[in-house]
Amino acid sequence: MARIVKISNNFALTKNIKIYTKVKNVDLIIGDDSLFTKSENQYIIDKFDHEIYLVITNEKHNVLFSGCSHKGIENIVTEIQKQESRVITHVLGGFHMSHFKPTDTEQVKYIKDLGDKLYHQETEVYYSCHCTGDNAFEALKPQMKEKLKRIKTGSVVEL
């Protein structure tokens, strides 16, 4: 039996645990232009088509786990909610904004607008970690208020 199984489509591990692969790629204002992949003997900007997301559901909660959210946290939540036909209640993951520049007015506006959008979504809490970056977290916090929490290695989240 293979220990590693490549997944190219959404996949249900159980009735309540699903892996999602089908999230479209979008251009983001804040990103990292140093991440490449090799394709046909040349290096190209990585579109993260291999990125996957885990959703665990129960009677009350639909919890999304994302790694670095290279495809944009708002985009990922929106796409999976469409596919799942229900609201994601909690998000745990990095927002891939560690390259946020507080001196870049376009990025500052993007962060403010994103924070406003996420705050007004039905998602109850966004637990942000690792690659969100301190500057982006602090810029999102005024808009997202109690809906944005930081988690680190060893944090315990009770739902």
Strand partners, 44: 37
Does 157 fall in a domain? no
Residue 88 placed within a domain: yes
Confidence (pLDDT) at 8: 86
**Has residue 3 been placed in a domain?**
no
Name the one residue in this structure whose structure tokens are 């637990």.
127
Distance CA(118)–CA(111), nearest Å, equals: 10
The predicted model scores a pTM of 0.92
Cα angle for residues 148, 85, 123 (degrees, 5° grid): 10
**Residue 46's pLDDT is what?**
87
Task: Give, for 80, the enclosing helix (H) or strand (E).
Answer: helix 73-84
Q: Cβ atoms within 10 A of the Cβ of 146, count?
A: 9
Residue type, 149: K
What pLDDT, in 10s, does the model give residues 11-48?
999 999 999 999 998 989 998 888 898 999 999 988 88
**Does residue 4 lie within any of the structural domains?**
no
Count of CB atoms within 10 A of residue 94's CB?
19
Asked whether residue 42 is assigned to any structural domain, the reply reads yes
What stretches in the chain show pLDDT beneath 70? 1
| Residue 105 belongs to some domain of the structure | yes
As a whole number of angstroms, the distance between CA 153 and CA 26 comes to 29
Which pLDDT does position 1 carry in this prediction?
A: 65
**Residue in 139, 130, 115 with CA at minimum distance from that of residue 66:** 130
Residue-level pLDDT at 83: 94
CA-to-CA separations, 138 to 44, 56, 68, in angstroms, rounded: 32, 28, 18
Going by their DSSP bridges, the two strands 53-57 and 62-66 should be labelled as antiparallel
pLDDT for res 10: 94
Range of the domain at 21: 11-150
Tell me, yes or no, whether 159 lies in a domain: no
Question: Which CATH number characterizes residue 37's domain?
Answer: 3.60.15.10
Total domain count, the chain: 1
Q: Could you tell me the two tokens for 37?
A: 């992949």
> Residue 10: which of 57, 39, 60, 53 has the closest Cα?
53
